[in-house]
Every structure is written in structure tokens, then in C-alpha cells.
Amino acid sequence: MSATPIPLNLIRDGQHNQEWDQSQKLYHHNYDFSDHPPMTLIPAASPIVVAAHVELLHGFLARRIAIVDRIAQLLNCQKQSLDYQQDQALLSQRFQDCFFMQADLASEQMRLRDQLELAHWASGFQPRAQPGNDIIDPAALLVRGLHMWRQTRWPGQKGRLRYAHTLFNVYLLRCLTLLSLRLWDADASGAGARLVQLQGVLDQLWLGTPVDQPVLVRDVRWLLPVAMSPTTDQLAGYFEVAARIDAGLPHTDRVAIQMAAVQTGGGHLRAQLHHLCVQKDVALDEHSLVLLTRVSNALDIALLLQGLVTLLRAYESAIGSGDEQQRRRLAAAIGQGLSPDPELFVNRLELLGPYTMIEHLFIATDAQGHTGYTASGQRHMQLLQDYRLLLGRLAPPLLADCQYSQPPADGYSPYGALYGFASNLLELMAFKTLQPEAVSHFSLEDVFTVGDAAKRAWVNSWRQLPHIKPDVIKQFVYPAQFADAIHARIAQALQRCVEAAQANSVGATGRLFIVCADAAAAATLAQMPALPRRYLLSSDPQRVAAHEAEFKHQADLLYCRLEGEFVVSYPSAGGWVGISKDLLTEVVGAGGDVKLAGLPVEAVKVLELMCTELVVRPGSSTTDAGGGVLP
């Protein structure tokens, strides 16, 4: 996803490298696009035949013992050079050879070797070139395992065989994860049946695995958010998959997938919050932290909102049918979705809309000059409307059900899970199998349910490895006070929402007034303050010299535009201009009215579509505004 997570080097082995410096640039919006490796363009792939890959995976399962023996031999490399042991590209090829270099493997199956990864990249999910930014990768885990053994001691045959089984399981999970986004490649109406096929492979995987191995994930539907968890340069694919899930899968599957997506996505943002609170030594509601997390997470917040609509509908249905178990399960998942910013998601819906809008994905101008919503934008606007109506009806029962998600005093709450991406959780559990005493009866799904002291101990144990320094382990100890504070924020936001509805009160929200060419209309705004310059960013030297904007390098500005950090952006004579979404919280969210002058006509139309409740054009008619749907 687009948001920068906890430093991945700390999530893994505590080895400091340049990755944290890179993530710092993203956090503080000083990203130098010249440092960013150009994305390799992948040609469009042919549709994946899911059945062919399912057959291949079943064949691997049937040959499990032989394949695991080959992997164990690959791990027996303590006499090899350090360069060999650290060459992940080479070891990745040799690891895949353990699966594909078999005499009885058909030539058609051999050609499937790299097909899934290439198709994944071609559909817009090529990970950014950052260390560890990938779907769970057995080759990476292999290299890290060798590193740990060098730091401690090399295991005997039994230890290598145990880890070989883990790596076998991880490889099949990676294949299933990549396949989960290929359900619609052929006939979209058959997506549900293909999902059942993938679940069948997953079930067979765990039936044949040794009893000391963890069942990393039980429900194949949790692999869809795992597949979309690494950061990418292209964001359109996330919304395309969300639309396909909504339109092409049975209701129960849609709800299960969105439960997984909302819980893992909410946890990703909570962990980011915890990291920033500790790093900056500030409280959860510290103003600069609120600004930073809102403006830098447009993709994550938008996907959370879209998933929450599905869960709220299912929650309302569970209430109507009297299904108490499903009601509580859904209420807990919804709470986790609200948790990164409960005030925004519950009480500031007029701001939530603009914060979730991504200009270049949701709005376009056609050849005739008409500015309107794209298909993805129209769908998002409808979901925003649905979310508002659902939350208005369901805030009272959600408040009542909030008690069931209270973190236990000595137990575990998902509000305290610390990780970067959903894929990292699978890595942590898999890597822990390097120790024979590792707990094996918990799965990915268990990270997101309340538990007792044993579950808290399991989560704490992920990074308790002999080669990880104690100070790094300490950073990831279950944060009980943080979990309590997160839960309290959710309850307080819902309480304020319910009380406001009962009192029929509406909070003060300012407006953005557009200064137009009409002299009479402009005169009405003469005494209104202009938007402060700090929210206007530009690479245009003339605008900066005229004190009309703050300077921002053009590559950096365009990157922020792609990430959805502006309410509007547009080219000028000498560069680009972007208006920061920080104004949503600091200006209009605080009740302030400001005027904007000098915007091009097209930029005004985009701004009206981005901030539908906040923009006022004195003297204009409704026909002046953009609208409609563009192909």
C-alpha cells in the first residue's frame, strides 16, 4: 500500500540499513523522486488459468517429501561462501528448482514457473524496490535463516528438515496468495468456484504438514489482503480488485474478505501510529501526528472505508436476524477499521470524504473538456454516501458492542499488534519455526481476535530470537497501554456521535470560497481571509518568488499527488501547484472559512468534486460544476 509502515528492518532482524532513511523521507514529505528506482514496465499478461496452477500445486503436495528433502539439502550450505549464502537471487532460483526440476513434471507445468508473479506485476501490483517489500517470500526467509544460523549455530539434519517444511509451506502460500487475485482472469462468474478450489489446496497443505508446523493461515480469503499489502507505485489495481470482490463473489465470501482486509489494514495503520508515538514521544491525539497520518494515508483510508461499508451492511443484517455471534464478530472488525482515526471515521465525515479522494484515480477530464468522476470515483462516492447512512443508523449498537472488544487486563487485544504489512505477520510466524519450541497452534486470523495471556506471549515471542538484540525485542513488546488508549478512542468517538444525533447538533465546519471573475461576487469575499500560503505548494519559481506558495520540488510534488495528498493539483506556467489536505483539519475542520483566488477553471471543477460539501462558488450556477461519470 501507499502508506509507509514501521521500518521493515526492525520488523525482521533488527539490522539497521538505509531503508529507514528512505521511509523517513516519505513520512516527512521530502521524498526525492530521483532516489526512487524507476518501475520496470511489465507487459500485460495473458489470463491465468487457475485450474492449471491448482493442479500444479496439488502435484507439489503429492511430492512433498521429495521436495522438502531437496530444500533441506539446499540449507546444508554452511561450508559455502558468505557471498553464496547471501545471494538471494541465486538461492531463489535454486529453491524453485526444488519444485520444478522433476522428471515427471509436464512441460506445460514447467512453463507456469514465473507466470503468477509476472501477472501480479502486470496488473499493477509490482512492489516498490525496497528491501523486504514483497509478498511472503521463501527465498528471503531462507537467507534470513542462514544469517541466524551463522550468528548462533548451524542446526543438524533435524533442524534443517523442520525449516525446509516451513519453506515448502511458505512457497505454496505465496502461490495461493498470487492466485487469489487471478480469480477473475477468465470467466468472472466462476470466481467463487475458483476460490473454493484454492481453499481446497490450502486445506490439503495443512493436512500433510508435520504437527510441529504452524498453520499459518486457515482461510484462503485472508490471502487477498496479503496479496495487496506491499507498497506499489500504481494505486488503481486496489480499487479494481475491490470492485471485483463486490460484484463477482458470493455474499459470505465478500464479507469474509473485507473482514480480513479491514482488520489487517486497520492494524497496519495502528502499528504506524504506535511507532510514530514512540519515536516522537507524543500522545495519540498530538496535532502534528493527526495531520501526518491523515494526509499520508489516502489509499489506506479509502480502502478501509470501502471495506467498512460491506461490514456495516452485514452487521445490520446480523442485528436484524438475531445472530449475536456474528454481530459481535463484525462489531469487533468494524472497531478495528475505525481505530486508526475514530474521530475522522465517526464524527468528521465531511472531512473523511476529501481525505479518501485520490484525484488522478477518481476524477478526469475528457476530450470535450468535461470534468467528472471516473468509474472508480463514482463507485467511491456512492460508498461514501452509503457509509454515512449506515453509520448514522448503527452508531448506537456499535457503541453498545464496543464493550466486547475491551482489551483484557492481562490478555491480548489486536489493538496492540505491531507489524508493517499483513505479509509480515506470516513471515514472523514462519521465521519463528527456526526454534523447535515455537508455538504452532495460532494462525494469522488469531492475531485479530481478543485472547488470553497465552496469546499475548505468542505475539511477544515472534521477535524473541537469539540473534535479535534485547533493545529491539523491547520495542515490539505488546503495548498494553496503547491498546487500551485505542479502544477508549473508539468508544469516545461513538459516544460523541450518538449524543450529537440525540441532540440533533452539527459541528462547525468551514468552507472553501472560490474567488471568481464576477466582480460583484468577488466583492462579497473582500473581508474573508485567504488560504494561508503554507497550504499552497508549488515548483513554479515565479509563484514562490511572488509569495503565492511554498516551494516543493516538482518530482516530490508529483509523487505526493499520486499518493493523494492534495485536495487539488494542477500545472502552472513554470511547474505544478498542489493544495495540501492539511487544510481540511487545520482550517475548515476547525470551523474557518477561507477564500481561494487564482485557480484555473478546471482546477475549480476538480476541487468541487474532491470536496463536495466544502466548496462554495459565489455567483455560480450548479451547471458550472463538474460532475457525471467518465469512462
SS (HEC) of 498-540: HHHHHHCCCCCCCCEEECCCCHHHHHCCCCCCECCHHHEEECC
* Residues 6+ positions from 191 with CB-CB distance below 8 Å: 183, 184, 244, 248, 249
Domain-embedded: residue 438: yes
Domain-embedded: residue 268: yes
> What is the residue type of 67?
I
DSSP for residue 190: G
Same domain, 488 and 478: no
d(CA 186, CA 175): 18
Domain-embedded: residue 631: no
Same domain, 215 and 261: no
User: Which of 240, 263, 283 is the last residue in one of the domains?
Assistant: 240
Q: What pLDDT is attached to residue 180?
A: 97
Q: What pLDDT is attached to residue 40?
A: 41
- Label the pairing between strands 371-373 and 363-365: antiparallel
Below-70 pLDDT ranges, the chain: 1-46, 620-631
pLDDT digits 0-9 by tens, 27-72: 233 333 333 333 344 444 567 899 999 999 999 999 999 999 999 9
User: Which of 194, 218, 240 is the last residue in one of the domains?
Assistant: 240
Q: What pLDDT is attached to residue 627?
A: 53
Same domain, 6 and 106: yes
Instruction: State the distance between the two ends of the chain, measured CA to CA, in whole angstroms.
Output: 25
**Cα 628 versus chain centre, distance:** 29
Q: Facing residues of 513 across strands?
A: 595, 616
Q: What pLDDT is attached to residue 46?
A: 67
Domain-embedded: residue 629: no
pLDDT digits 0-9 by tens, 569-586: 999 999 999 999 999 999
Q: Which of 358, 427, 416 is nearest to 133 (CA)?
A: 427
Give the three-class secondary structure for 579: strand
* Residues 6+ positions from 80 with CB-CB distance below 8 Å: none
Domain-embedded: residue 33: yes
Domain-embedded: residue 216: yes
Same domain, 492 and 525: no
What value, to the nearest 5°, has the Cα angle with vertex 588 and ends 301 and 363?
A: 50
Query: At residue 566, what are phi and psi to the nearest 5 degrees?
Result: -120, 150
Q: Which three cell numbers stand for residue 407?
A: 482489551
Same domain, 351 and 260: yes
Same domain, 273 and 365: yes
Instruction: Count CA atoms closer than 13 A to 465's CA, side-chain side.
Output: 28
Q: Which three cell numbers stand for residue 499?
A: 449524543
- Label the pairing between strands 536-538 and 575-580: antiparallel
Same domain, 149 and 3: yes
Same domain, 33 and 181: yes
Q: What pLDDT is attached to residue 31?
A: 32
d(CA 397, CA 415): 20
pTM of the predicted model over 0.75: yes
User: Which of 444, 467, 483 is the last residue in one of the domains?
Assistant: 483
Q: What pLDDT is attached to residue 596?
A: 94
The residue whose grid cell reads 531463489 is 92
Same domain, 319 and 439: no
Query: How many domains does the chain fold into?
Result: 4
> What is the residue type of 219?
D
- Neighbour-count burial of 303, counting CB atoms closer than 10 A to its CB (0-12 exposed, 13-18 middle, 19+ buried): buried
Q: How many residues does the chain have?
A: 631
Same domain, 444 and 525: no
What is the extent of the structural domain holding 368? Answer: 249-406+484-507
**Cα 485 versus chain centre, distance:** 22
**CATH code for the domain of 598:** 3.40.50.300
d(CA 293, CA 217): 29
pLDDT digits 0-9 by tens, 257-268: 999 999 999 999
Cβ–Cβ < 8 Å for 564, 2: yes
Distances (CA, A) of 354 to 59, 450, 549, 585: 49, 33, 21, 11
Same domain, 39 and 143: yes
Calculate the CA dihedral of residues 351, 353, 356, 360 and round it to 10 degrees.
-120
Q: What pLDDT is attached to residue 45?
A: 55
Distances (CA, A) of 44 to 37, 52, 91, 236, 576: 21, 19, 28, 15, 31
Q: What pLDDT is attached to residue 1?
A: 53
Same domain, 388 and 420: no
